[in-house]
Structure 1
Amino acid sequence: MSMSAKVKWDGDVRFQGTTGSGFDVMIDGELQKGPRPMELILLGLGGCTSYDVVGILKKTRQDVVDCVAEIEAERADTVPSVFTKIHVKFVVSGRGLNAKKVERAVSLSAEQYCSASIMLEKGGVEITHSFEIVEVA
């Protein structure tokens, strides 16, 4: 499976990104018109792992109504300022959620399914996970 993207300079430290599927995003090194490139990596990681967690929970018939991945990252102090540590905390809301099934969904995503997470770990990033369950009426 192949993917593509195009990034075009838009002046100063801004770039217009276009995905192969036709979506646009403004990338801005000074945070005036869009996210910084490294923030997009965190969003990609969060989207990838959240997709897995929600999908796994739905397949195990958990009544999930919301899932938020809160991501905190540390970067190296030297150039290149790569990520050194990332923590992903899932706040999963639903009715009667089984903690063991949520824990298993998070583990399966981290260890087997999330391409972004696995790729970053192979690059030397320490990634940890936790979760919180919120019961809703």
Structure 2
Amino acid sequence: MKAQVKWLGEELFLGTSESGHTLVLDANGGTLAPSPMESVLISLGGCSSVDVVSILHKAKQNIQGCTVELNGNRVDSTPKLFDTIHLHFVIRGTDVNPKHVERAVNLSADKYCSVALMLNAKVSITHDFEIIAC
């Protein structure tokens, strides 16, 4: 897998993936686009959500929505790494079994989410979920 990041000027950068997709990053605290650290949170949420939705579909759970809210805490010293990240999954569906959701979230965190597994060495990652019947 390859990517390129090009400086656009000021504190803006354009990332281009090997597949040709682009993402603007703003090192100025995310004023005009996500900051690189915000994009790490988004990537973690995306990776985990893909797993959770896939696992729940395979378990034949009738889900209509999956949102994950992420809260990352960064240390005060430089480099300002994340020390904790919490993921809160909100699953919407009909007759969704909490045991299946718990299993899906745990499998993502412990086995499948590449982003979480990379971050685990330095970051304490926790998660929980709620189910909203619709």
Q: TM-score, normalised by structure 2?
A: 0.97
Q: Which residue of the partner structure matches residue 23 of structure 2?
A: 25
Question: How do residues 36-47 of structure 1 correspond to structure 2 at under 5 angstroms?
Answer: 36-47=35-46
Q: Which residue of the partner structure matches residue 7 of structure 1?
A: 5
Q: Which residue of the partner structure matches residue 107 of structure 1?
A: 106
Question: How do residues 1-137 of structure 1 correspond to structure 2 at under 5 angstroms?
Answer: 3-30=1-28, 31-122=30-121, 124-136=122-134
> How far apart are residue 4 of structure 1 and its match?
1.0
C-alpha separation between the residues in 2 aligned to 1:23 and 1:106?
28
Q: TM-score, normalised by structure 1?
A: 0.95
Letter in 2 for 1:131: F
Letter in 1 for 2:21: F
- CA deviation profile, 1:25-55 (whole Å, cap 9, x unmatched): 1111223321100000001000000000000
> How far apart are residue 81 of structure 1 and its match?
0.4
Q: Secondary structure at the match of 1:110?
A: helix
Q: Secondary structure at the match of 1:116?
A: helix
- Identity across the alignment (%): 47
Letter in 1 for 2:57: K
C-alpha separation between the residues in 2 aligned to 1:29 and 1:118?
25
C-alpha separation between the residues in 1 aligned to 2:31 and 2:86?
26
Q: Secondary structure at the match of 1:77?
A: coil
Letter in 2 for 1:39: E
C-alpha separation between the residues in 1 aligned to 2:108 and 2:95?
21
Letter in 2 for 1:97: V
Letter in 1 for 2:111: Q
Q: Provide structure 1 residue ranges, at least 5 long, that are not aligned to the other structure.
A: none
Q: Secondary structure at the match of 1:22?
A: coil
C-alpha separation between the residues in 2 aligned to 1:75 and 1:26?
22
Q: Give the aligned CA root-mean-square deviation in angstroms.
A: 0.7
C-alpha separation between the residues in 1 aligned to 2:109 and 2:50?
12
C-alpha separation between the residues in 2 aligned to 1:88 and 1:33?
25
